Amino acid sequence: MATLKLYGFPLSNYYNKVKLALLEKGIAFEEVRVPQMGPKTDEMLAMSPLGKVPWIETEQGSLCESQVILDYIEARWPDTALIPADPFQAAKVREINTFLELHVELCARQLYPQAFFGAALPEKYVARVRADLEKHLAAFKRLVVFGPYVAGDTFTIADCSAYVHLPLAGLASKLVLGEDLVMAAGIDWKAYVKLIEQRPTAQQVAADRKADQARMKGA
């Protein structure tokens, strides 16, 4: 089989979510860097119609959307499972993962333009995002387990997401609102990240992200 190709860049949390899962499952893959800025080529849009990262190229064709990719690799390479075999427990993992991405990360993402890219967001907009994020984080705290992993005592796809999303939500809220709303909600993402980064796979993802940050600053 041809080596699976992962397209994107190491500053993307959704790219790193997929990369961490691939590393955890021991799947051979090649990283193909996609420019963060610039026009989207027809070749790129043929694989990811919005030009969003990540996407993968397989022997059968391409797939975009990070969760679709994780579902594919879980079915294609069932060894080193990242989803429980029990149907209800599997659904609970997917519930946490979906809630985190739809109601926490995408909410916090509205702050990213000001937090990370120098934009100035309207005060009313920021106030509305803050209220939503506080509500969603309180709800997320009721759902997660942290036992010690987000869905229980086993590392799952939900951890691939939480490891890359929670720090960004915390940092973005700190930079824009002056308060880390994730920590304020009683979700100690810093201790959680330390736990996950005991894993060599997460250490590699973190090292590659830091190297890419340094490269971008030097560009």
Q: What is the secondary structure of the chain as a DSSP string?
A: -PPEEEEE-TT-HHHHHHHHHHHHHT--EEEEE--SSSPPPHHHHHHSTT-PSPEEE-SS-EEESHHHHHHHHHHH--SS-SS-SSHHHHHHHHHHHHHIIIIIIHHHGGGHHHHHH-----HHHHHHHHHHHHHHHHHHHHH---SSBTTBSS--HHHHHHHHHHHHHHHHHHHHHSS-HHHHTT--HHHHHHHHTTSHHHHHHHHHHHHHHHHHHH-
Q: Which domain holds residue 186?
A: 87-218
State which of 76, 95, 115 marks the end of a domain.
76
State which of 76, 106, 122 marks the end of a domain.
76
Q: What is the pLDDT of residue 188?
A: 98
Domain count, the chain: 2
Same structural domain, 64 and 94: no
Q: What is the pLDDT of residue 39?
A: 87
Q: What is the pLDDT of residue 2?
A: 62
What CATH number does residue 56 fall under? Answer: 3.40.30.10
pLDDT by 10-residue block (mean), the chain, 219 residues: 88 98 97 89 96 97 98 97 98 98 98 97 98 98 97 98 98 98 98 98 98 82
Specify if 82 maps to a domain. Answer: no
